[in-house]
Amino acid sequence: MNQRPCALYCAIIAVLLLPACLKPGPIIVPPGHPTARIIQLKELDPLYSDSSRVAYNQPGNPVSITPSSVSTGYPMWLFRYDNQHRLIASVGAYDNGLNMFEMAHRYVLNAAGRIISDTTFVFGTFDTTVTPLRITGQGVRTTSYNYDSYSRITQTVTTDLVPDIPRFRTTVNYSYNNTGNAWKIVTIRVEIPYPHAIPDTSITYPVYDNKPNFHRLHPVWQFVDRDYNTNNPGNAISYDTYGLATEMQPNTNILGIFYHRGAIRYEYRP
């Protein structure tokens, strides 16, 4: 009776830790983890109580994160792929049947399949019946991405596009240690009209637990949260039998969504 949980635990740990010692493939590669995947996110704070279900397609790539009540500030997130199963867009959509979105990202890939840039749009419409996917809305910023030889993001450069408000260019640099965790994150913010002004610089030194990072269950989760670490930044409040975090610290983003008290539910398959 106890052999199967033990075997499943060993399989999960082996697959989660494998990229730490072997070079992984391109940034978005199906399928996801073969035995475990995230199926629900839940807000535990009674003032904001809600839950979101996570759905996947046949190859194992996430296609949607749908809250129980879709509204302004709480859209359902749709993930769209090309015919090579590479992520090309993510859309924070409303469920009014009009294909309207609150926020959307259109991604540009290089020959290796890595996302090298994206444009962020707000309050527009989208059409998934055409190729390429059509997104119509106000472009508010662009972001470019650089990677290391392990396909981990090492730098993002985000440029604001809206001209009638202060415009900034924000560069974030990630430095990884031998354990596969980003030990230093440097954020440099410069107001675009004043490129020679002293930039606003902040440095973060994250602290990690010793458990497998749930973002490693799928490359899309790594990209969405910019989290390619072997372990979880900060200590989760609780973990399941297999070492995956089930409740995160307060005021945490999980899969691109802010939670006051966020919980994660997994599905384990043979």
* 206-259: pLDDT as tens digits: 999 999 999 999 999 999 999 999 999 988 999 998 899 999 999 999 999 999
What region does 13 belong to: left with phi over 0, alpha with psi -120 to 50, or beta?
alpha
Say how many C-beta atoms besides its own lie within 10 A of residue 122's C-beta: 15
pLDDT of residue 197: 86
- Residue 160: which domain range? 3-268
User: 10 Å Cβ neighbour count for 49?
Assistant: 13
Question: How many domains would you assign to the chain?
Answer: 1
What separation in angstroms does the CA of 243 have from each of 16, 54, 153, 217, 232? 11, 20, 25, 13, 11
Residue 27 tokens read as: 């940034």
Provide the pLDDT confidence category of residue 132 given band limits of 50, 70 and 90.
Answer: confident
Mean pLDDT of the chain: 87
pLDDT at 5: 44
Rounded to 5°, the CA angle 12-13-15 comes to 65
pLDDT above 90 as % of the chain: 71
User: Is the predicted pLDDT of residue 71 greater than 90, yes or no?
Assistant: no
Beta bridge partners of 248: none
CATH number for the domain spanning 141: value is 2.40.128.720
